[in-house]
A and B are shown apart, each in its own frame.
Chain A
Amino acid sequence: GNSVTQMEGPVTLSEEAFLTINCTYTATGYPSLFWYVQYPGEGLQLLLKATKADDKGSNKGFEATYRKETTSFHLEKGSVQVSDSAVYFCALSYYSSASKIIFGSGTRLSIRP
């Protein structure tokens, strides 16, 4: 079946460090890929998305590239801030399947000042 696997947390970094959160997926066909973020006490928010192979999604300094050959969608940021502390979810959905979203288990990120 379709699934998403992301690196386990928690991940703790110092401010201005480089961030990578790995995500791989198992799916047939051509899903859309997403990163969602959940800040403390808030609801899930879409951070970025990519709808086809080699697309790069970007937002708020975060980037992820849809790599079909490696079935990956790793999240990166060049210089993290304390305000980036949150739980990050990698996810996929299909246009043909009512766009219900399949989420990974989440990675908690903590940034030290």
Chain B
Amino acid sequence: DTGVSQDPRHKITKRGQNVTFRCDPISEHNRLYWYRQTLGQGPEFLTYFQNEAQLEKSRLLSDRFSAERPKGSFSTLEIQRTEQGDSAMYLCASSLRQGANNEQFFGPGTRLTVL
């Protein structure tokens, strides 16, 4: 399977704990995006990388959130001191290039539940 993969698929944690999610994009894709989707809503953009550079962060991405893509391949999203409001599906997407023909391919998501 050469699609976008995410790990874990589900994470349950207690408030105040730190969590880290991983995304493996399609291998030749140089752009990687993170989105957050809460119940009954569409995904909301969080941040994106071109290769290893993080080029944009949404205002939704508070100081407790940090994302990395150290070698321009896989990416991690860490949430420190989790809060109940962080409960959501975290989606990763990758694309080959920017432009009108750019298509983002989405992974299955990591569902986070903060108790």
Q: Is the CB of B40 within 8 A of A51?
A: no
Q: Is the CB of B109 within 8 A of A43?
A: yes
* Known contacts A46-B103, A95-B98, A99-B102; is-contact A104 B42 (Cβ 8 Å): yes
Question: Number of contacting residues on B, CB 8 A?
Answer: 28
Within 8 Å of chain B (Cβ to Cβ): is A73? no
B100 in complex: contacting residue of A51, A91, A103, CB < 8 Å: A51
Q: Which of chain A's residues have a CB closer than 8 A to the CB of B31?
A: 98-99
Question: Number of contacting residues on A, CB 8 A?
Answer: 21
A98 in complex: contacting residue of B4, B41, B44, B56, CB < 8 Å: B56
Q: Which of chain A's residues have a CB closer than 8 A to the CB of B109?
A: 43
Within 8 Å of chain A (Cβ to Cβ): is B107? yes
1/0 contact string of B12-52 vs chain A (CB within 8 Å): 00000000000000000001010100001111110010100
Q: Is the CB of A106 within 8 A of B41?
A: yes
Central interface residue in A44, A102, A106, by most chain B CB within 10 Å = A44
Q: Which of chain B's residues have a CB closer than 8 A to the CB of A99?
A: 31, 95, 98-99, 102, 104
* Known contacts A99-B102, A99-B104; is-contact A43 B4 (Cβ 8 Å): yes
Q: Is the CB of A95 within 8 A of B48?
A: no
**A95→B43 CA distance, assembly (Å):** 19
**A113→B83 CA distance, assembly (Å):** 42
B104 in complex: contacting residue of A42, A101, A105, CB < 8 Å: A101
Q: Which of chain B's residues have a CB closer than 8 A to the CB of A89?
A: 42-43
A100 in complex: contacting residue of B3, B4, B45, B91, CB < 8 Å: B45
Q: Is the CB of B42 within 8 A of A98?
A: no
On B, residues with C-beta under 8 Å from A are 3-4, 31, 33, 35, 40-45, 48, 50, 55-56, 91, 93, 95, 98-100, 102-104, 106-109
On A, residues with C-beta under 8 Å from B are 4, 32, 42-46, 49, 51, 89, 91, 95, 98-106
